[in-house]
A and B are shown apart, each in its own frame.
Chain A
Amino acid sequence: MIPAPQIAAGAGAGGAAIEILKLSKWYGALQVLHDVDLVVDRGERLVICGPSGSGKSTLIRTVNALEGFQRGEIRVGGVKLTREPAVVEAVRRNVGMVFQQFNLFPHLTVLENCALSLRLVRGLSGPEARERSMHYLTKVRIPEQAGKYPAQLSGGQQQRVAIARAIAMQPEVMLFDEPTSALDPEMVKEVLDVMVGLAEDGMTMVVVTHEMGFARQVADRVIFMDAGRIVEQAPPEVFFTRPQSERTRAFLQQVLPH
């Protein structure tokens, strides 16, 4: 039994939450990430955008080991990510994730969705887990739905539950993979509002999204990816007003409202 590597909470406050070094990944013969370098500081809010198939999902999914990689190095909270189950577990404990398709557990109520991992992973007792779940369900403004099943909720409500489920684990970093892309337009705002609130609380966030309004409002840095490479990165005011590369300009033309 290998002792689970501890991720030093707040070690060198302001230090790197995620360090990605020369990361390359292939699906068979197809290379989907090319020597990607990326450092995310503690408390930083990073937005990643780019055309479909550019490797945005793949990049953030390597961070919590949902995808493996062939070359390069990833450190999360200082811990080097390997295939070792204990390491993977330790990293996943400190990294929360929200998916495009919500991925709530349909056989569990909203409250149980949040409480299950608190009990199994964080070792909380039943009442403690339920209490903490209610706290975070209140935070995403949905406490009254606690007893319902996911199928009874709207898409926006489901995604807010998914956010509550992830942040109830009190991770150091939150990853979002297009959290509003599967939502009807009128529900996008309620989810983005919750995410803005989370940013104001100082959560380290990596958000793949095409919601450029959100990027302008909360991002410290916006990254543009294309064909498995980071093509451009800049603070939002620079990124949106003076994009350097031709590809970024073309992409922004498509996603920004004219």
Chain B
Amino acid sequence: MHYHDNVDYPPLLSRPNVFFPLLAAVFAGLWWFNAGDSAIGRLVAGIIPEGASPATQTLATAVIVTAFLAFNIVVVMRLPLRQQVWLVWGELAVVILLFFYSFDLSFAFIQRKIGFLLTQGLVTTLYISAVSITIATILALMGAIAKLSSNGIAQGIAHFYTSLFRGLPLLMQIYMIYLGLPQLGYVVDAVPTGIAALSLCYGAYMTEIFRAGIESIPKGQWEAARALGLRPGAVMTRIILPQSMRVIIPPTGNQFISMLKDSSLVSVVGVWELMYLARTQGQTEFRHVEMMITASLIYWLMSIVLELIQKRIETHFNKAVTR
């Protein structure tokens, strides 16, 4: 039986010899980087007397920010653990959004373009990623089983496959499929090229994840299943894989999120996915930053969705061992 536990250390507030130096460091940092001259500094400028010297403004900014931070920590520390996590997450998200906001963006431009970015870009990105993730998972499963099999030929192929496709840069694989295969007489379109390269590359990485997951299951599980007369396929799908999932899911979730963003690499062969559109749509009116930030937020949102899905699946496969 597994029980949840945390890496434990005394709470920050009970350790003034850590807490106060931390605040001092923040204060010093703000001073050193001339915070009075920053976006926060300009906000602060609104509330201090007109015509203060730059030094005064920086000092005021540093004091206010540090005091706010200290107050925030004191408040957060009084909450239950889960609420602490969510609150801090939200605060950091606000800071990041403020950072984007400070770029003086043209929201009218974003509003004009976002429809196209979503219907063409996001849809293409999702389509490519979803298909690639599916194929990569199948390749990984086959690769892992081949690596663990008693068949030398299967093992040899699987080892070569993971070595080659983990070893070459993804960008190179995309070019080789798109520009190389036509040399052999096969012309491949841009989208299938992207899907093929992503599937092969991520299939190779995930082969290793699946292999490690399968190997983490004790020998006794195989033996018990065999002794009961289960066929090899049933041993794998009913006994071994369901148990390996606890080990396989977290790194696989990583791979899915990573693939979502690596799908942007297929923009080099002219696929109109999110990244491609973000780069090209801003060009006409010199509004690159707007498009980059919008696309970034869309990628981030998609990753968050994947994170949440991963969490649910993890909970499902953990139900037998956590209570």
A binds B: yes
Contact B223 A106, beta carbon cutoff 8 Å: no
Which A residues touch B85, using CB under 8 A? none
Within 8 A of A (CB), among B214-237: 218, 220-221, 223-231, 234
Q: Is B184 an interface residue (CB 8 A)?
A: no
Q: Is B238 an interface residue (CB 8 A)?
A: yes
Q: Kindly specify which of A17-25, A97-105, A184-192, A233-241 makes contact with the partner chain.
A: A97-105
Complex partner residue of B231 from A66, A89, A99, A151, CB under 8 angstroms: A89
Q: Is B265 an interface residue (CB 8 A)?
A: no
* Interface 0/1 of A92-117, CB less than 8 Å to B: 11011101010111111000000011
* Nearest CB on B from A130, distance (A): 16
What's the Cα separation between A120 and B238 when bound, in Å? 10
Q: Is A166 an interface residue (CB 8 A)?
A: yes
What's the Cα separation between A126 and B321 when bound, in Å? 25
Supplied contacts A89-B229, A99-B224, A166-B227, 10 more A-B pairs, CB within 8 Å: A93-B229, A95-B227, A97-B223, A99-B220, A103-B218, A105-B224, A105-B225, A107-B317, A152-B323, A165-B228
Contact B223 A99, beta carbon cutoff 8 Å: yes
Interface centre among B218, B227, B323, by most chain A C-beta atoms within 10 angstroms, is B227
Complex partner residue of B243 from A99, A101, A107, A166, CB under 8 angstroms: A107
A149-B320, A151-B320 known; A66+B227 contact, CB < 8 A: yes
Which B residues touch A104, using CB under 8 A? 224
Which B residues touch A169, using CB under 8 A? 228-229
Chain B residue nearest to A90 in the complex (CB): B229
Interface centre among B228, B234, B321, by most chain A C-beta atoms within 10 angstroms, is B228
Q: Is A121 an interface residue (CB 8 A)?
A: yes
Contact A106 B320, beta carbon cutoff 8 Å: yes
Which A residues touch B225, using CB under 8 A? 105
Q: Which residues on A are within 8 Å of B, measured CB to CB? A: 64, 66, 89, 92-93, 95-97, 99, 101, 103-108, 116-117, 120-121, 149, 151-152, 162, 165-166, 169
A103-B221, A151-B1 known; A96+B227 contact, CB < 8 A: yes
Contact A120 B223, beta carbon cutoff 8 Å: no
Contact A120 B243, beta carbon cutoff 8 Å: no
* Nearest CB on A from B3, distance (A): 11
What's the Cα separation between A66 and B227 when bound, in Å? 7
* Nearest CB on A from B137, distance (A): 20
What's the Cα separation between A117 and B228 when bound, in Å? 6
Which B residues touch A117, using CB under 8 A? 228-230
Complex partner residue of B220 from A93, A96, A103, CB under 8 angstroms: A103
* Nearest CB on B from A76, distance (A): 13
Contact A166 B228, beta carbon cutoff 8 Å: yes
Question: Could you pull out 8 A-B pairs where Cβ atoms are within 8 angstroms?
Answer: A92-B229, A96-B228, A97-B224, A107-B317, A120-B238, A121-B229, A151-B320, A166-B227
Which B residues touch A93, using CB under 8 A? 229
Range of interface residues on B (Cβ < 8 Å): 20 to 34
A93-B229, A149-B320 known; A103+B224 contact, CB < 8 A: yes
* Nearest CB on B from A94, distance (A): 9
Which A residues touch B231, using CB under 8 A? 89, 120
Within 8 A of A (CB), among B304-321: 317, 320-321
* Nearest CB on B from A156, distance (A): 16
Q: Is B182 an interface residue (CB 8 A)?
A: no
* Interface 0/1 of B243-258, CB less than 8 Å to A: 1000000000000000
Q: Is B110 an interface residue (CB 8 A)?
A: no
Q: Is B242 an interface residue (CB 8 A)?
A: yes
Contact A105 B229, beta carbon cutoff 8 Å: no
* Nearest CB on A from B15, distance (A): 38
Complex partner residue of B320 from A95, A103, A107, CB under 8 angstroms: A107
Contact A120 B234, beta carbon cutoff 8 Å: yes
Q: Is B154 an interface residue (CB 8 A)?
A: no
What's the Cα separation between A92 and B226 when bound, in Å? 8
Enumerate the 4 nearest inter-chain pairs by beta-carbon distance, A residue then B residue, closest first. Answer: A103-B224, A117-B228, A103-B220, A97-B227
What's the Cα separation between A86 and B228 when bound, in Å? 14
* Nearest CB on B from A122, distance (A): 8
What's the Cα separation between A137 and B209 when bound, in Å? 37
* Nearest CB on A from B233, distance (A): 10
